[in-house]
Each structure stands twice: as structure tokens, then as C-alpha cells.
Homo-oligomer: A and B are copies of this chain.
Amino acid sequence: MYKNRIEIIKKHLEVNNSQTTNNKDEVLEKELFNSIDTNINVGELKLLIDSVEESKYKDETREFIRNHPKFKENFIGLDMATYRQLVLEQCAAIANRGLIHFTDIKNNLHRYIGALEMFALYNNNILTKLSVQYTLFGGPIIFLGTSRHEKYIEDANTLKTMGCFAMTEIGHGSNVRGIETTAHYDKQTKEFIIHSPTPTSEKFWIGCAYLHATYAVVFANLIIDGTNYGIHAFIVPLRCPKSGAIMKGITIKDCGHKLGLNGIDNGQIRFDQVRIPRENLLNKYSDVSEDGVYKSQFNTPIKNFAATMSPFIVGRMAITKGCSGAAKTSLSIAIEFSHIRKQFGPSSNKELPLITLSSQQRRLMAPLARTILFDLYIQRLTNELCQEKLPASIHAHCSGIKAVYSWFCVAALQTCREACGGQGYRSANRIAEFKNDCDIICTYEGDNTVLMQQLAKYLLGVKQKQTNTTTNRIYLDGEDAKSLFFNFSNINQLFETREEMRLAELKQIIDNSKESAYFAFNNAIPWAVKLGFAHMTKIVFQNSINTLKLKNVKPLTHLIMLDALVSIEEDLGWFVSNHLISPNVAQSIPFLIQDLCFEVTKVSKQIIASFDIPENCKPSSKDLISDLF
């Protein structure tokens, strides 16, 4: 198989043709050669990270978290029932304060996304519960429903009624198209009959279903007179809105104890011939007339399916904010700890803080940089989502950032836990809870490995349409490695070229396969994932550079370069073996990274101050190092 690899690039050109970088760069790049400017404007940095559009909402939310009594209660080590109740009450308090509105995902995405991130600084159960209500239940109603479904909005807005999102079944998670639940149309009564035909068709994992949801948006196969029109979304009452009693024909079980998110009541739902009115079909794109005639805006079921899945775009963005909040708080905890905690020193009566250790700097500064750059990229995606006409890339990019951010987050939180030594293992330290809660972001709202393939397929598709434009390939070689790397244009070209070559490589592996299209692709998944990473790294980098050029907020230049070099190091074997970086130049990378970590460490306290994390999101100073205070 390895013989099918792409041809080795023999032409090494050193051309700067990138449009992302220009002369202005030089001024910025110069900073990198000097000691970091420790004179950080924390307010300015905060505004950059919060974004102008979200800043106001974020501050309002911070204020709320700081002061509301429900956010002062302990949630560590609670039993499941108590935890679920607390999270419910916290969410209700948020809704009642009007911090977010049910229609925000359409009309004020910045408010919604901004507030979610702030709640994620505190705890990911809240973010998850809110996401279920506002994006998973709200999304389909708002994006797939019509005026006849507006009646659900008012009560849902204040959490007087709650909803859930019933797509996954025991038998089908990633492969949503395989779900088995049926919705037969009964012309006589003008009703749909929602039914779980097999044990594997029972809905599973449905957040909010076990205890709190009155309604479910159920995804099921719409069938009229024996013809299956594919998957559609229906509003199904699970409980009586007044009494709360579970409706006839419905059985709901608890999904049980989980690694994390035990404040969320995930449930398993079985439908036994449950009748709902015809009007409960979310009918924006497709509808069934009273007499059972199916009508769709789309000429194929697959297109209707794609439209039905569209609310997910916002969902993935929203859930990614869980990573953003958790990473920021956990990094703050680990960095603060490292500034305070002393261990070892040049002499037995002079111990030094952990932050003076090269390893501690290396472990913590690299994820700190990436967290901020990912956040800047999400700002851009949020702006794109607010546009009238969405860019064609939006779906792929929301999938991509969700995957790379959540994988990164899991690793970063692990590092934070370890960086705090034993103290990081105490629940009171908070990192533990974030770690367990965020783990599932790799899986839900689309499994990462599956999403990365969607992104790769998108990129393959774009390529197909392009006439043959190839980037000028770059080869970094020379004596002065520092000057070669401290050059945004070079970095950009490295990332451009890698993506292009990764794409060509994937295409070639698939094309050369002797197997059918399905197997040809399935045998190349690791390469598709690599392509996804290459692409996301590139666009996150380009977005960072664009942000920097709008305004040079310190220490952004250093953060960008640190993250870029770390990205290169993560794939260094590839860069060198594919002749983009010379072996000799490559050798300098670990040293450059270590130097940058050392510089960024000098301003690490200011950086975490700019996150403006409410105190009750973090351990008390007593809990940072037990009883040391």
C-alpha cells in the first residue's frame, strides 16, 4: 500500500506569494526576536478574546454567575438526583433572567454563544442542558418549523416547558440515516403514529428526556401508504404539559451513571404506536397534506435529510464553547497553581514556584496559546453564521472546529490535571469535573472521527471543482532557522502546501485502491483525518494573522508563532519527510518553542486575567493547594 504514496516533491521553490501576509508583517515579526513586551493591556486583550460583538453579553453573564445564589452552591460529589435538580434550577435562573432567548440562535447568535461560553467557564452540565433546550430542541423548531410551531416558543423561552432532541437510537449513532423509528401517516385520523419497531430503534442518550422534557423533537422515517420518504422531525409530547405524567405509549428509562455530565438526565425512549397530530411535523421543507400527499422542496430524500440536519451547524458551534470555557478555566487554575506552588529549588531553603520549570512552561503555555487562537476562529465562524447567505464551507468548518477543539481540549485538560500534581486530582480543584464533562464533546453532536471525514470529503469536493491551481511549494532551508520560522508568510505557505499535498495524497490513495468507493475511502480514514487537521490548522492560523493585522494586541504575535511552531512540531515527521523543511532547520524547532514558552510565561498571569473568570468558577484559594492558606 505504501507504494501508492504521492510522488515526492522535487522542486523546491522559495516564493512568497501568499495573500495572507505582506510587508506589514515585518514589523510584527520583529517583536518575536526580542524579549516579550510585558506591558500587557489586559482590558484590550479581554476585548479581543471576548469579541466586540459578544463582550457586553459576556460581561452581563459574568456578573450573573458571580452573584446568583444558585451559582454559589457546591456541586462537587453530589449524587445524581441532587445534581440534576441543581442544574435544572441553574438553567431556569438563567432563562428567567433573560440572559438568553429561545430565538437567539436565529436573531442574536452573539448573545447566545457568548453567554454559553461564560457558563462553560463554570460547568459544562449547564452548557449541555442549555444546548439541549436552545439548540437541539429550539433549533429544529426555529429552523425546520413554520408559524404553526411558534406556539411552543413562549413557554420554552422561560423553561416553563422543556424539550429534548431524540435522534440517536441504540442501533444508530453516527449513521443517523440508519435510524429505524417510524412515523406512519394515518389519513383517517390525520395523525402520525410514532413507533419503535425494534429494540435497537429505541431512542437512547436523549438529554433531558429522563426527567425534565415535556416535548421531544423526534427524528423518524416518514411513511405514507408503505412508502418511506426518509427521515423527518416531529414534535412529540412526552409528558402531559400540566401534570407531567408520561404520555400513553411512551416508556422512558434512565441511561444511568456516566463518566461525566451526571447533572444531565439522559433517557432511553420507546414509542409504542404514539399518535400525534399531523401539524406536529416540522414542515418548513417538506409537508404531508391532510389527505396524505407528500410534498417537499427537495427532489431527493438525501437533500431533505441534509436540510433536516442543518440546525446542527449552530449546535456544533455551541457545544464547542464547552471546550472554550473548560480550557480557559482549567488553564487558569493550573497556571495560577504553578505560580504559587513551590517545590525544589537551587538550595534546600530556597524553593521556587513550579512555573520556573521549563517543562511546566512547555506544558501550559502551548495550550494557552491554542485556546485563544481557536476562540478567535470561533468568533469568525459565529460572524459567518450571522450572515444572510452562509458560506458553502460553513458546515465543514463547524464540524472541523468541533472535532479539533474537543480533541485538543481533552488533551489540554489532562495536562492541566497532571500539572497540578495530586491537587489536580481533587474534585475541589475543579479540573477533574471539567475533564470528565468535556470528554464527551469528542463524541456527541457528531463523533470527531466521523466529522473529520465530512470535512475531508468537503475538501475533496472543492478540489474537484477547482481548475488546477497549485501553491508554490516552499522548502525551508538555511543557516538562520529563527528567521525562516519567524516569518508569517513562510508559515502560511507551509500550511498551504501541507494541505494541498495531504489532499493530493488522500485522493491518490482512494483513486489507486482496487476496492469499491466505500472501502477505498474507509481504508484511508487516518489520512482523511490528517487532511482535516491540516486544513483546520491553516485556517485557524490565517484567521489569527488577519486578526493581528486589524489590531496588534499584545501578546498575540507571540501566541500565534508559538502555536504555529507547536503545530509544525506535531507533524514534523511529515514536514521533513515531504521536503518542506530541511532536516537541519527542523532541529531548531524544539528550542524555538521552548524559548517562546519562556517568553509567554512572563505574561501568563496577565493573559489569564484577561479571561476575567468569575471567582466561583475556580477553586477557592484554600482549594487550590489544600489548607495552604
The residues of A with any CB-CB pair to B shorter than 8 Å are 1-2, 4-5, 8, 76-77, 79-80, 168, 170-175, 177-178, 199-200, 202, 204-205, 255-260, 268, 343-346, 348, 351, 356-359, 362, 410, 414, 417-418, 421-422, 424-428, 432, 435-436, 439-440, 442-444, 447-449, 481-482, 516, 518-519, 522-527, 529, 569, 571-579, 581, 583-584, 586-592, 594-595, 625-628
Please tell me which one of the listed residues B8, B344, B576 contacts residue A573 in the complex, with CB atoms under 8 A apart. B576
In the complex, residue of chain B having the shortest beta-carbon distance to the beta carbon of A4: B591
Q: Is the CB of A356 within 8 A of B436?
A: no
Q: How far is the CA of A1 from the CA of B588 in the complex (A)?
A: 9
Q: Is the CB of A524 within 8 A of B584?
A: no
- B residues near A524, Cβ cutoff 8 Å: 358
Please tell me which one of the listed residues B417, B571, B591 contacts residue A439 in the complex, with CB atoms under 8 A apart. B417
The minimal Cβ–Cβ distance linking A366 to chain B, given in whole angstroms, is 11
The minimal Cβ–Cβ distance linking A561 to chain B, given in whole angstroms, is 14
| 14 A-B contact pairs sorted by A residue (CB < 8 Å) | A5-B591, A170-B627, A174-B343, A200-B628, A256-B427, A257-B426, A357-B525, A358-B525, A358-B526, A418-B442, A418-B447, A526-B590, A573-B586, A577-B583
Q: How far is the CA of A574 from the CA of B577 in the complex (A)?
A: 11
Q: Is the CB of A516 within 8 A of B346?
A: yes
Q: Is the CB of B414 within 8 A of A443?
A: no
Q: Is the CB of B518 within 8 A of A346?
A: yes
In the complex, residue of chain B having the shortest beta-carbon distance to the beta carbon of A431: B259
Q: How far is the CA of A44 from the CA of B437 in the complex (A)?
A: 42
Please tell me which one of the listed residues B171, B204, B427 contacts residue A259 in the complex, with CB atoms under 8 A apart. B427
- B residues near A256, Cβ cutoff 8 Å: 76-77, 426-428
Please tell me which one of the listed residues B8, B205, B425, B522 contacts residue A422 in the complex, with CB atoms under 8 A apart. B205
Q: How far is the CA of A224 from the CA of B575 in the complex (A)?
A: 63
- With contacts A351-B178, A417-B439, A425-B258 taken as known, whether A579 is within 8 angstroms of B583 at the C-beta atoms is yes
The minimal Cβ–Cβ distance linking A227 to chain B, given in whole angstroms, is 16
The copy count of this chain in the complex is 2
Q: How far is the CA of A171 from the CA of B259 in the complex (A)?
A: 31
Q: How far is the CA of A2 from the CA of B481 in the complex (A)?
A: 9
- B residues near A410, Cβ cutoff 8 Å: 414
- With contacts A268-B626, A427-B257, A591-B2 taken as known, whether A8 is within 8 angstroms of B199 at the C-beta atoms is no
- B residues near A362, Cβ cutoff 8 Å: 525-526
Q: Is the CB of A359 within 8 A of B175?
A: no
- B residues near A178, Cβ cutoff 8 Å: 343-344, 348, 351
In the complex, residue of chain B having the shortest beta-carbon distance to the beta carbon of A354: B174
Q: How far is the CA of A320 from the CA of B370 in the complex (A)?
A: 33
Please tell me which one of the listed residues B258, B357, B519 contacts residue A427 in the complex, with CB atoms under 8 A apart. B258
The minimal Cβ–Cβ distance linking A499 to chain B, given in whole angstroms, is 17
Q: Is the CB of B8 within 8 A of A425?
A: no
- B residues near A588, Cβ cutoff 8 Å: 2, 5
Q: How far is the CA of A584 from the CA of B583 in the complex (A)?
A: 12
Q: Is the CB of A174 within 8 A of B344?
A: yes
Q: Is the CB of A525 within 8 A of B359?
A: yes
In the complex, residue of chain B having the shortest beta-carbon distance to the beta carbon of A1: B591
Please tell me which one of the listed residues B2, B414, B526, B572 contacts residue A592 in the complex, with CB atoms under 8 A apart. B2
The minimal Cβ–Cβ distance linking A221 to chain B, given in whole angstroms, is 12
Q: How far is the CA of A573 from the CA of B432 in the complex (A)?
A: 33
In the complex, residue of chain B having the shortest beta-carbon distance to the beta carbon of A573: B572
The minimal Cβ–Cβ distance linking A601 to chain B, given in whole angstroms, is 12
In the complex, residue of chain B having the shortest beta-carbon distance to the beta carbon of A432: B259
Q: How far is the CA of A523 from the CA of B436 in the complex (A)?
A: 33
